[in-house]
């Protein structure tokens, strides 16, 4: 059994990790840590576990038991994993970081976007970006995996087949993306109250979202020149889910983008390219690690419209982290993640 530690077990991503890993046949949750819930029984923090399954006591994030784990997940705000990772790595612990600490390869760029000094710049080059659909080979041998952001996951999966094929104008990319409110985290915030979100819809971070440089970094790896992207995120009145509508201009009006996507994802474990004329909905992936993609041409034929849906807490966070863990430990990639969507 793989001994698992979770740092940040009381946030939404941490709780989602617990939900998935408790049913995983090859893992044992050995440590769950949280400064907020230190000393509480895990079933007090996550009532859904019940009295039989939640007997583990939540510890402090500095718990020495973490150094005995095979893998530790960081489901923490930025700045935490970079302070604690080196000691764990020195003790042979593999790390999957759900925070943004190791996603950006340019440390100065990271410091600009996150407004603080990076305390472990030497680990940035060591970290492998954990988008399995493009990086599975590197993930297999990685000691430190930087789990992608939720928007970054959806938007890269929707643009990469077109970018890599050089079939679109990479200076005219537009991403119009919506997220459920859980993407804002579990901390108290007036803007996230039910009365503010219910029956409401709003855009935010138009001057620059922190996932923007992460998305461009991933897209730029597949082109000889830098891409240009307009990215506008929105909050929708739902607890979870991401719906990204992506726009690109084709270089050739006779392009068949649907065939491009089908070939790109033909061996993917979780990405499904829908039949022509079928459009995804966020509820179709709720509670799953799946990504559904619909590829469309407009009437004129020069505009490609790609619709992408994921669950921001699963494929956009905890589920993708477990997918990475499976790859790292030589397990079947879908192990513990073959769940049907929750309806309604």
C-alpha to C-alpha distance for 333 and 182, rounded to whole angstroms: 26
Residue 234 scores a pLDDT above 80: yes
Neighbours of 164 (CB within 10 A): 15
Q: Is the pLDDT of residue 195 over 80?
A: no
Q: How many CB atoms lie within 10 A of CB 130?
A: 28
User: DSSP letters of 129-164?
Assistant: E--HHHHHHHHHT-SEEEPPPHHHHHHHHHHHHHHH
- Return the percent helix, strand and coil in the chain, to nearest 5: 35, 20, 45
CB atoms within 10 A of CB 120: 19
Nearest to 33 by CA among 86, 78, 82, 84: 84
Would you give the distance in Å from CA 82 to the centre of its chain?
A: 18
In which order are the strands placed within the sheet that holds 128-129?
A: 27-33, 2-7, 71-74, 94-97, 144-146, 128-129
Structure tokens at 225: 């020149």
pTM: 0.95
What is the chain's mean pLDDT, rounded?
93
Percent residues over pLDDT 70 in the chain: 97
What does the pLDDT read at residue 188?
66
Active site (catalytic) residues: 150
For 290-300, letters b (16+ CB in 10 Å) and e give: bbbbbbebeee
Cβ atoms of 302 and 135 closer than 8 Å? no
Each residue of 293-322: pLDDT tens digit? 999 988 666 899 999 999 999 999 999 999
Q: Which domains does the chain have, with CATH numbers?
A: 2-126 (3.40.50.720), 151-312 (3.30.360.10)
pLDDT tier for residue 132 given thresholds of 50, 70 and 90: very high
């Amino acid at each position: 059994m793989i001994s698992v530690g979770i740092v940040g077990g009381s946030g939404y991503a941490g709780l989602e990790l617990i939900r998935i890993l408790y049913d995983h046949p090859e893992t044992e949750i050995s440590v769950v840590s949280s400064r907020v819930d230190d000393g509480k029984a895990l079933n007090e923090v996550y009532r859904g576990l019940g009295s039989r399954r939640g007997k583990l006591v939540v510890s402090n994030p500095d718990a020495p038991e973490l150094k005995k784990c095979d893998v530790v997940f960081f489901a923490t705000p930025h700045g935490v994993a970079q302070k604690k990772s080196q000691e764990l790595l020195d003790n042979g612990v593999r790390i999957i970081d759900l925070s943004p600490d190791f996603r950006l390869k340019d440390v100065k760029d990271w410091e600009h976007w996150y407004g603080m000094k990076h305390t472990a710049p030497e680990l940035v080059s060591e970290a492998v970006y954990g988008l399995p659909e493009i990086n599975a080979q590197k993930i297999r041998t990685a000691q430190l995996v930087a789990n992608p952001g939720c928007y970054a996951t959806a938007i890269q999966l929707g643009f990469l087949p077109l970018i890599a094929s050089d079939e679109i104008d990479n200076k005219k990319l537009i991403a119009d993306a919506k997220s459920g409110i859980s993407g804002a985290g579990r901390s108290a915030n007036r803007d996230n109250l039910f009365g503010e979100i219910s029956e409401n819809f709003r855009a935010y971070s138009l001057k620059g979202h922190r996932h923007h440089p992460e998305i461009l970094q991933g897209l730029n790896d597949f082109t000889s020149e830098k891409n240009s992207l307009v990215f506008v995120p929105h909050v929708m009145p739902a607890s979870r889910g991401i719906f990204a509508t992506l726009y690109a201009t084709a270089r050739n009006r006779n392009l068949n983008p649907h065939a491009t996507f089908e070939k790109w994802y033909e061996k993917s474990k979780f990405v499904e390219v829908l039949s022509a004329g079928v459009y995804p909905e966020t509820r179709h992936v709720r509670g799953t690690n799946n990504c559904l993609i619909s590829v469309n041409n407009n009437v004129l034929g020069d505009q490609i419209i790609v619709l992408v849906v994921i669950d921001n807490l699963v494929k956009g966070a905890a589920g993708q982290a477990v997918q990475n863990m499976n790859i790292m430990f030589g397990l079947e990639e879908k192990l513990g993640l073959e769940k049907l969507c929750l309806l309604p």
